[in-house]
Amino acid sequence: MTSQSHQGKFPFLNFLLRKPVVYKLAAAIAVHIILYFVFRSLFPNGEYISDSHGYLVSANQHHKVAFRPVGYSNFLNFMGFKGGPEGTLIGFQYLIMTFSSLLLYFTLAYFYPVRNRVVQTLTYLLICFNLMNFFIANFILSDGLFTALTVLIFVLLLWIHNTGRWVYLLVLLPLLYFTFTVRFNSLYYPFFIVIALLLSYRMKLMVRIGGSLAIALSFASFYIGQQRINNELYDSRVFSGFSGWQLANNALYIYPHIKPEAEWFDSPDLKQLHKFVDSFYYGMDSAALQPILANKYEGASFIWNPKSPLKIFLVYKLRTTKTHYFKAWVQYSELYNEYGNILIKKNLGTFIKHYITYNTKNFVYPLPEAFTDWNFKTAAIPDVTLQWFPDASVKDNIRHRDLNDAIVQAYRVLYSLLILGCLAGTFYLLFRMYRSRELSFKNEAFRLHFFTGAYFFMTAAFSIYASVVVFRNVLPLIPLSLMWLYLMYYYLENSRRQTAT
C-alpha cells in the first residue's frame, strides 16, 4: 500500500515544508488561531458538570483513586493550572487536540497520498478543522485530553506500520500508560495495539513480540497497581469501584421488564439489596418514581441519583457500619457487580432487547448530554473550583445556546454518517479483497485495515456494553473514522491504478 508513499523520497519534516503541503499547514495554524479567539469571544467561560469539580477535588487532595480516574487530576497538577485563568487550561486542551488532528492528517498525506482532489480537500477540512475540538476543550473534563491521546496513539501505530522503527514504541508505551490513567475506556486498547504490532511486518519479529509483551506488562502493572491501592486504602480488591456500580446501573434498566426471583440471590447482602431494588420499583408512588426514571437513559442515574436504590442501600449500610463514604462506595462495588451480573445472565435476551439494542442506536447516533443539556451543566461554581480558576463562571455561554446546539447537532449527524460509512466501506472492502484474492495477512492493505477494524469493533463493543453512549465519550471516532474512510479510498484508488496498468 505504500508504493505511492512519500516515504523514502524525503523525510517527514521536508514533506511538511514542500509546496503545497506547507501552505495547508500554515493555513490550518492560522485558521485555528482565529477560530480559537472567535469561539472564546462567543463562549468566554469554561463548561462544568459535576465530574469537573470532582477532578479538581482529586487534584487538590492528590487522590490515588477517586470516583473517576485520577490521570486528568494529575495532569492538572503537573501542568500547574491552579490559580490561573481557566482560559489557560482550555487553550492548552484545544492546542493538543489541534496538534493531534493535524499530525493525523499530515501523516496520512505522507504515507498514503491520494490523487483525488475532492477526497484530499474533504479529509483536510474535516480532520484539521473539527469544530467539536473547541467545544470539548471548553469543558473542564478529561474527554478532550483522552481524544487527543487516542488520536496520537493511532498516529504512532501508522508510523510503526510504515517504518518498522522500534523507537516509536518508546513513545507509545508511556503514552498508553498515561491514557489508562485518564480514562478507563482505554483498557481494551492493548488488545488492538498488540494486533497492530504483530501485523507490522516491517518490524523485526522479535521486536514485535517484545513490544507486544511490553504492552501487556504495562497493562498488567496498571491493573494490578489499581487493585493494590484499593486493597491498601479501602480493603477491596476491585480494580475500580465504578465498575460494579456501572454494571448494576445498566442491569437496572431492564428491571421493569423482568420478574426476578428471590432464589437468584444467595447471600444476605444480595437478598437485602434486592429488596431495596424491588421496593424502589414497586413500592414507590408512580408520581414520585417518574422523575427518577425520566432521565435514566441519559447516562448513569442509578449511580448518582440520591433516590436510586443503589444509593439508598449504600446510605443504609453506612448508618449500620459507620464506614467512610468513599470506602463503602468502593467496597460495595463488588456486591453491585455480582447483583448486576445475576440480573443480566438470568435475563440475557431481555438485556439485549432493552439495553444493548437501545445503546447500539446510541452508538450510531449518540446522546448529546452535556453539550446541549444546559440543565446538566453546573448552575453554581463550588469553592474548590474557584480555588483553581478564580475567574470561573457559567453565566455568559448560554447567550449563544442556539449556535452551540446547531454545531453539536451537525456533528452528531456527521458522526453517524461516518460510522455508517465505515460499516458499509468495510463490507465493500472485504468483498473487493475477496474477489481479488487479497484477503490475506500477506497483503499489507488487509493487515492495515484489520487492526483498524479491530479498534472500531472493540470500541463499539465496549461502548455499547459499558454504559449509555454519550457524544463526548466517542469523539475520537470522528477523526479516526475519517482516517479509515481515507485509507479505504486509498486502497481502492491504488487497486484501480494497478488494474489499469
pLDDT in tens, the chain (501 residues): 444 677 667 899 999 999 999 999 999 999 999 999 999 999 998 998 889 999 999 999 999 999 899 999 999 999 999 999 999 999 999 999 999 999 999 999 999 999 999 999 999 999 999 999 999 999 999 999 999 999 999 999 999 999 999 999 999 999 999 999 999 999 999 999 999 999 999 999 999 999 999 999 999 999 999 999 999 999 988 999 889 999 999 999 888 889 888 889 999 999 999 999 988 888 766 665 665 666 555 567 788 888 889 999 999 988 887 788 899 999 999 999 999 999 999 999 999 999 999 999 999 999 998 888 765 565 678 889 999 999 888 776 777 889 999 999 999 999 999 999 999 999 999 999 999 888 899 898 999 999 999 999 999 999 999 888 999 999 999 999 999 999 999 999 988 877 666
For residues 245 and 390, give the distance between their C-alpha atoms in angstroms, rounded to a whole number: 34
Residue 367: phi and psi, rounded to 5, are -65, 140
The owner of cell 516509536 is 168
The owner of cell 481515507 is 486
Please report whether residue 33 resides in a domain. Answer: yes
Total Cβ atoms within 10 A of residue 419: 20
For residues 356 and 350, give the distance between their C-alpha atoms in angstroms, rounded to a whole number: 9
Q: What is the pLDDT of residue 292?
A: 61
For 444, the domain range is 12-235+373-500
Q: Which of 482, 423, 498, 496 is nearest to 126 (CA)?
A: 482
Q: Which of 165, 136, 229, 174 is nearest to 479 (CA)?
A: 136
For residues 149 and 178, give the distance between their C-alpha atoms in angstroms, rounded to a whole number: 9
Q: What is the pLDDT of residue 284?
A: 67
Q: What is the pLDDT of residue 282?
A: 82
Q: Which residues, in sequence order, are bridge partners of residue 367?
A: 470
Buried b (16+ CB within 10 A) or exposed e, 311-341: bbbbeebbeeeebeeebbbbbbbbbbbbbbe
Q: Which of 268, 477, 223 is nearest to 366 (CA)?
A: 477
Q: Which of 491, 454, 479, 488 is nearest to 105 (CA)?
A: 479
Cβ proximity of 196 and 153 under 8 Å: no
Please report whether residue 268 resides in a domain. Answer: no
For residues 113 and 116, give the distance between their C-alpha atoms in angstroms, rounded to a whole number: 9
End-to-end CA distance of the chain: 16
Please report whether residue 343 resides in a domain. Answer: no
The owner of cell 485555528 is 32
Number of domains within the chain: 1
Nine cell digits for residue 187: 483498557
Please report whether residue 493 resides in a domain. Answer: yes
Please report whether residue 396 resides in a domain. Answer: yes
Please report whether residue 470 resides in a domain. Answer: yes
Q: Around 392, how many Cα atoms within 13 Å sit in the side-chain half-sphere?
A: 29
For residues 373 and 485, give the distance between their C-alpha atoms in angstroms, rounded to a whole number: 31
Q: 304 to each of 166, 238, 339, 340, 438, how far by Cα in Å?
A: 45, 20, 18, 16, 51
Q: What is the pLDDT of residue 256?
A: 86
Q: What is the CA radius of gyration of the chain?
A: 24
The answer for 299, left when phi > 0, alpha when psi is -120 to 50, beta otherwise, is left
Which residues fall within 8 angstroms of residue 91, CB to CB, at 6 or more apart? 36, 137
For residues 28 and 34, give the distance between their C-alpha atoms in angstroms, rounded to a whole number: 10
Cβ proximity of 70 and 181 under 8 Å: yes
The dihedral formed by the CA atoms of 32, 35, 37 and 41, expressed in degrees to the nearest 10: -160
Q: H helices of 6-139, where?
A: 12-16, 21-42, 50-61, 71-79, 86-111, 117-128, 132-137
The answer for 235, left when phi > 0, alpha when psi is -120 to 50, beta otherwise, is left
The owner of cell 447567550 is 399
Cβ proximity of 135 and 471 under 8 Å: no
Please report whether residue 311 resides in a domain. Answer: no
Q: Which of 96, 106, 113, 158 is nearest to 127 (CA)?
A: 106
Please report whether residue 208 resides in a domain. Answer: yes
